[in-house]
Structure 1
Amino acid sequence: MSSGATTTDVLIEHRREIEDLKERIRNRRFQVYALYGTPIALLAELLAWAGLKIFIWLESDTPTAINGIFGGATAILVIAFIAQAIAEFGEPTSWKDGKTPVRELVLELSLVEERHILEARRRTPPSVDRQASYRERLPAEVVRLRKESKHYRRINLLMQWLLFVSSAAISAVTAWYDPPQPAKGVLICLGFTVTVITAAAGYFRPRERAFNLQQTADNIEEHATALELGISPYNATEEAQNLELFATTVERLRAEQRMREQQLDQPQQGQQQVI
């Protein structure tokens, strides 16, 4: 029991270290981009200010509002660059990984992941234990699938309502204005909205994605319930046999879901070739 607990603690500690390094890499990249991107943004802003003066207000004074906007932006960028430079090059540095190259953190992450793989391989539990652990992780997978399904259903519902309202508004505005010259702008916007929504719905197909995700989640939950109750096809006398069959079935369902997602991401002609 203590050996199993020790193995779990070691693997959890490795996972925490990996996630911590990933977060440090993200933060360090943001720091570097901000440090070197701020002077570039400042230069671009000064060039834009000078360009407006040269090409628009060369013979007259630049409006006070324009000068105020660009002057304020310049002051903010200068202050931001000074603060970042002090945080990066100060002694001691204010940033957690200040002066640390990103490639060094990436290398450290690779070494930690390799150590995690070797340690996991050395401490690999029996297949029955892994299959039992796999079963315990499935509720989170079902929740994720249903969450994504709900997300795509909401997108589809929003698209449909926008399409309904825009289509109805085109007819209403056309009937209200005769001739429709005063409402040409409204008609153009509504027609553009209908075209964009129709094209987006046909390309991304959120309704089909929501249906596929919900179907996969329901199938996985159905098999999980059958395994828990010990009913067909998981009514074998040996638990190991039931767990093996369960893991195989769920992985097949997930593979089918990935295949359907790939087919939805392909153009219509490509889908017909795949089918």
Structure 2
Amino acid sequence: MPDSTIFSGRGNTTDELIRHRRDVADLRRRIRNRRIQVFGLYGSPLLLVTAILSWIAAKNLFWMGQNMPGSAHGAFLAVSLILVAATCIQFTVEFSRELWDWEDKGKSVSQLQLDLELAEERRIPEARRLTPSAVERQASYKERTPAEVERLRRESRHYRRVHLWMQWLLFFSSAGVTAITAWYDPPQPGKGVLIALGFTITVITAATGYFKPRERAFNLQQTADSIEEHVTALDLGIAPYVQAEDVNLELFATNVENMRVEQRKREQQLDQPHQGQQEVI
């Protein structure tokens, strides 16, 4: 019975935290949608006026004293009709109660932002009150670690594939330059192909040196292997995780966070120019 009470309490705590986060996320979504609605509500009439003025300006600039081609008239007319329809529909939905109920219609973005700030203010004390103990959070962190390892491996495979594709394209382009140079005489049509291949080689070489996909793949794979090694050591209870469970979980969370910080530092170093990397090192 006590165990069921404990698990029920943890479940209620988790549900409350999830509910607060969902409320905040829902308000952020509503703010994004409302911004799009307001942009369309006021942007469509402005675009309509711009289209009509452009229609008049084009007639006076390019076809002064003569008839404007029917295709140009048709294009401007079609754009104007579309904007008129969009404006009428949006104003009707916004200011009519009988038609489709637009979410948050009539509300300003600033009002929704205020609701978001209030929801976040309510979430902070509730989260502080409902936050589980450090041991429980560390145990949850341990359970989330395999997903982090999989993410690192997935990104590592992505950069490795990018590097391989770049290298193969570079190989074929270099071989193509040599082959076409030896094969074609006179220069055409081989000259155009040589220009394209030389451009490809230059772009790939520059992109490889700038983005460094091979180094990124190596760092990600190394971090994933290190984290997986610590997960295995924690599961098996081998060094360095040979103490009490709460101590092991704290040590595990500390080690994994340190490795993630080191990974981010390596990524930042790769984003720096070569001279900047030497200064950082």
Per the normalisation by structure 2, the TM-score is 0.83
Equivalent of 1:32, from 38, 43, 46? 38
| Alpha-carbon distance change, 109 to 172 in structure 1, aligned in 2, over 3 angstroms | farther
Match of 1:6 among 5, 12, 17: 12
The residue that corresponds to 2:106 in the other structure is 99
Q: Which runs of 5+ in 2 are unaligned?
A: 1-5
Equivalent runs, 1:1-275 vs 2, <5 Å: 1=6, 2-43=8-49, 45=51, 65-91=71-97, 94-236=101-243, 238-275=244-281
- Consecutive unaligned residues of structure 1, counting only runs of 5 or more, are none
CA shift in 2, pair 1:31/1:235, >3 Å: same
Give the Cα separation in 1 of the matches to 2:228 and 2:247. Answer: 19
Moved more, 100-109 or 40-49: 40-49
Cα distance 1:89–1:55, how it changes in 2: closer, same or farther (>3 A)? same
How much does 1:60 deviate? Answer: 6.4
Q: Are the structure 2 counterparts of residues 209 and 65 from structure 1 closer, same or farther at C-alpha, using a change threshold of 3 Å? A: farther
Distance 1:179 1:71 in 2: 54
Q: Which amino acid aligns with 2:236?
A: L
Normalised by the length of structure 1, the TM-score is 0.85
What value does the CA root-mean-square deviation take over the aligned residues? 2.8
Aligned-pair CA distance for 1:234 = 1.1
Deviation at 1:172, TM superposition (A): 4.2
Residue 257 of structure 1 and its aligned partner are, at CA, apart by 0.8
Aligned to 2:3: none
Q: 3-state DSSP class of the match of 2:242?
A: coil
1:185 Cα deviation from its structure 2 partner: 4.4
Judged with a 3 Å threshold, the aligned counterparts in structure 2 of structure 1 residues 29 and 167 are, in CA distance, closer, same or farther, namely farther
Give the Cα–Cα distance (whole angstroms) in 2 for the partners of residues 188 and 253 of structure 1.
46
* Larger CA deviation: 204-213 vs 249-258: 204-213
Mark the CA change 1:151 to 1:47 in structure 2 (over 3 Å): closer, same or farther.
farther
Shift of 1:215: 1.7
Q: Over alpha carbons, which structure has the higher Rg?
A: 2
Deviations 1:54-109 (CA, angstroms, capped at 9, x unpaired): 56565766555555444433333332232222233333563212222222222222
Secondary structure of 1:98 counterpart: coil
CA distance in structure 1 between the partners assigned to 2:80 and 2:230 by the alignment: 61
Q: What one-letter code is carried by the residue in structure 2 that aligns with 1:87?
A: V
Counting aligned pairs with the same residue, the percent is: 61
Corresponding pairs, count: 274
